[in-house]
Chain A
């Protein structure tokens, strides 16, 4: 079996100081005060793996560590313990439209966003028409982004993301912004992508979507893995244990 993602014994602990010092002035004023902080275990000994071509969903209540986990996989946070191995080209989509600038036209923003996602200018030129067509924004592409509706912005961002040609998508709750039609379009795309052999790790509170599309689901609770398995079984546990 070829794994796309292997996570082993991952732990992450945040130190939350009781008194946050973020100026030099307060650092001097409080120079003799003892530093006290609370430890918050965001993730505790999490292990799992994802195979190629899977639609892997992560569910859990607010504060269960889902986003922290995704940020560690994306390489934004460094883990305290354990390891994360990614064996594929990763598209970390923790939010849509990173680097979008409202003062620039849609065209320029496609280039900005595409470059941040690691595409070269040439690659973006080659895919430009496709991106615009998928977003359905041919008429508005030279307008400034600030004149777009939020749905249009989301469509543009999503379109750039899926054309970035990455094999492994991390998707964190991005569907919440769009309308039903947009959500359906996204899910269609995800289905197609899975058939093409791409891999998706998906975080959502929308249990119905999770149930319908996932091949496996993982349940996180207070930073620990409660259950991994088929969607029906895990969602069952979710209702039993977490409510």
Chain B
């Protein structure tokens, strides 16, 4: 059965989802380039790419977490595979991200910044992997959210912390080397850091590192799908 759920977002909604990261960018750029004198090369470009990537992660994970519960009136009435709900609501975030990528391109054009083709490839790969991680998180968190309804509040706080724990506004080189190593173990920091360095410094991650990372992402996805299969069984009765 091919079930497709269309989400009718208003144009204004999409516009807002593009505007809000831009607004965040404006504020952070103003604060950090004027007061903290972070005179990085192409700081604005690093910042906007990092903000968009982080925004994709935070939007996607929260949408994915709510996906099953938000459609509870549907799935208590008809038997549709629950994972389609997770896929469709995270895809919605991916579409918003695509719009944001257009904004990034426009931003590059305005700044007359030409990224190397390797860095574009890396950016695309990491965007895809971001989606993999969002899916992995959602498969695990969506059924869990049905059980624990305060998870969304906790996640909002965690996202806030994560925002400053990942090198979004600051370069990774700003923190002590020992902390850098820990940070690079978190997938989000890894992806955002290497996208930034690839774009600006033409410093690319080693291929071995990359392969390991892709493998890890896929393993995480498989694991979380297994957890989802377990949690999914008596889920409906809790709705």
B-contacting residues of A (Cβ < 8 Å)? 14, 22-25, 27, 74-78, 92, 94-95, 98-99, 101, 103-104, 108, 111-112, 115-118, 120
> Does B2 have its Cβ within 8 Å of any Cβ on chain A?
yes
Question: Which 9 A-B pairs have CB atoms at the shortest separation, nearest pair first?
Answer: A75-B79, A23-B150, A118-B1, A24-B148, A98-B77, A95-B77, A76-B79, A22-B149, A94-B77
Contact A78 B3 (CB under 8 A): no
B155: min CB distance to chain A, Å:
11
When distances are taken between beta carbons in the complex, the residues of chain A under 8 Å from B4 are 115
Task: Give me 10 other A-B pairs in contact (C-beta within 8 A), A76-B76, A99-B5 excluded.
Answer: A14-B237, A27-B148, A76-B79, A92-B79, A98-B77, A99-B74, A112-B5, A116-B80, A118-B2, A118-B3
Q: Which residue of B lies closest to A92 (CB)?
A: B78
Q: Which residue of B lies closest to A111 (CB)?
A: B6
> Does B226 have its Cβ within 8 Å of any Cβ on chain A?
no
Contact A94 B6 (CB under 8 A): no
Q: Which residue of B lies closest to A95 (CB)?
A: B77
Asked, given contacts A98-B78, A116-B5, whether A22 binds B236 with beta carbons under 8 Å apart, the answer is no
Q: Which residue of B lies closest to A15 (CB)?
A: B237
Best-buried of B2, B78, B234 by chain A (most CB within 10 Å) = B78
Chain B facing A: main interface SS: loop
> Does B231 have its Cβ within 8 Å of any Cβ on chain A?
no
Interface string of B200-234 (1 = CB under 8 A from A): 00000000000000000000000000000000011
Inter-chain CA distance A94–B77, complex, in Å, is: 6
Asked, given contacts A76-B236, A115-B3, A118-B2, whether A101 binds B75 with beta carbons under 8 Å apart, the answer is no
When distances are taken between beta carbons in the complex, the residues of chain B under 8 Å from A120 are 2
A207: min CB distance to chain B, Å:
25
Contact partner, B6, options A27, A92, A112, A117, Cβ 8 Å: A112
Contacts A/B (CB < 8 Å), 7 sampled: A76-B75, A76-B76, A76-B77, A103-B8, A116-B3, A116-B5, A118-B1
Contact A22 B147 (CB under 8 A): yes
Inter-chain CA distance A199–B8, complex, in Å, is: 35
A39: min CB distance to chain B, Å:
13
Interface string of B122-162 (1 = CB under 8 A from A): 00000000000000000000000001111100100000000
Interface string of B1-19 (1 = CB under 8 A from A): 1111110100000000000
Inter-chain CA distance A213–B184, complex, in Å, is: 69
Q: Which residue of B lies closest to A103 (CB)?
A: B8
Contact A25 B8 (CB under 8 A): no
Inter-chain CA distance A14–B80, complex, in Å, is: 22
A216: min CB distance to chain B, Å:
25
When distances are taken between beta carbons in the complex, the residues of chain B under 8 Å from A117 are 78
B231: min CB distance to chain A, Å:
13
Contact A94 B237 (CB under 8 A): no
Asked, given contacts A92-B79, A104-B8, A115-B3, whether A98 binds B74 with beta carbons under 8 Å apart, the answer is yes
B140: min CB distance to chain A, Å:
14
Contact A24 B150 (CB under 8 A): yes
Best-buried of B77, B150, B236 by chain A (most CB within 10 Å) = B77
Contact A25 B78 (CB under 8 A): no
When distances are taken between beta carbons in the complex, the residues of chain B under 8 Å from A115 are 2-6
Inter-chain CA distance A22–B238, complex, in Å, is: 9
Q: Which residue of B lies closest to A25 (CB)?
A: B150
Inter-chain CA distance A111–B74, complex, in Å, is: 16
Contact B8 A101 (CB under 8 A): yes
Inter-chain CA distance A37–B147, complex, in Å, is: 16
Contact B233 A78 (CB under 8 A): yes
Inter-chain CA distance A112–B148, complex, in Å, is: 30
Inter-chain CA distance A111–B3, complex, in Å, is: 11
Contact A78 B234 (CB under 8 A): yes
Mark out the residues of chain B between 10 and 47 whose CB falls within 8 Å of any chain A CB in the assembled complex: none
When distances are taken between beta carbons in the complex, the residues of chain A under 8 Å from B2 are 115, 118, 120
Q: Which residue of B lies closest to A76 (CB)?
A: B79
When distances are taken between beta carbons in the complex, the residues of chain B under 8 Å from A112 are 5-6
When distances are taken between beta carbons in the complex, the residues of chain A under 8 Å from B3 are 115-116, 118
A70: min CB distance to chain B, Å:
11
